[in-house]
Chains A and B, each alone.
Chain A
């Protein structure tokens, strides 16, 4: 069974600083994908970044980068140069690509980390 762990319930970060959000996962399957989503107070889920288990390089998308350490089963999100608009809930999620076709793509989410960016 999969399991996603986010150990930081909440974090304060000052504007323009970098912040790292922790995510560890547990799976016995070799083929999986890791996602980070942002959920502002409006409730919409905003996709940030994706890392495949076979990807050799760490994923980057603008100010977001994923520190993927496969042996440690960790997929930490790094937000560089934080902005006030980054204040939101952040979720780490995993998909198991070996599920049968009708369940393919099923995401399991971590508990989330609430980030507050201060001026």
Chain B
């Protein structure tokens, strides 16, 4: 199957700093990537849809100025959590949609802890 990577796999940062998470499709080009957030013992909640070359589409209730998404190439999307606070601590997972087929492949996730 297709491979999607995320970097870093975990990160601890101080409150007020910004953190960038990368999502890469390693063996296919993904025009669309998705960013999810998951709190412990809860389901995945879609944050935004990232389309290459255009602005991301954010779900209702997600602050676009806080969660900056950039999809600069067909294999890379980045999520930047700006001015992170402890309540932003969560598991962030990206997925990449395989073109034409519509299958979605998930990255391994990034665990963010904000102190």
Size of the A side of the interface (Cβ < 8 Å), in residues, is 22
Asked if B108 is an interface residue, CB under 8 A from chain A, the answer is yes
11 additional A-B pairs beyond A47-B1, A105-B102, A107-B104, beta carbons within 8 Å, are A33-B102, A37-B106, A43-B93, A43-B109, A43-B111, A47-B103, A47-B105, A91-B43, A102-B32, A106-B46, A111-B43
Q: Mind listing 29 A-B residue pairs with CB under 8 Å?
A: A42-B108, A43-B38, A43-B91, A43-B108, A43-B109, A44-B106, A44-B108, A44-B109, A45-B44, A45-B93, A45-B106, A47-B103, A47-B105, A50-B103, A95-B102, A95-B104, A102-B54, A103-B49, A105-B102, A106-B34, A106-B46, A106-B49, A107-B95, A109-B44, A109-B45, A111-B42, A111-B43, A112-B42, A112-B43
Asked if A104 is an interface residue, CB under 8 A from chain B, the answer is yes
| B contact residues around A105 at 8 Å (CB) | 32, 34, 97, 102, 104
Contact of B43 among A47, A50, A106, A110 (CB under 8 A): A110
| Cα of A103 to Cα of B95 in the assembled complex, Å | 13
| Cα of A108 to Cα of B95 in the assembled complex, Å | 13
Asked if A97 is an interface residue, CB under 8 A from chain B, the answer is yes
Residue of chain B at shortest CB distance from A114: B41
| B contact residues around A95 at 8 Å (CB) | 102, 104
| Residue-wise interface mask of A (80-119) relative to B, using a CB-CB cutoff of 8 A (1 in contact, 0 not) | 0000000000010001010000111111111110000000
Q: Which of A44, A97, A103, A106 has the most CB of B within 10 A?
A: A106
A-B contact count (CB 8 A): 59
| B contact residues around A47 at 8 Å (CB) | 1, 103, 105-106
| A contact residues around B111 at 8 Å (CB) | 43
| Cα of A45 to Cα of B109 in the assembled complex, Å | 9
Asked if B18 is an interface residue, CB under 8 A from chain A, the answer is no
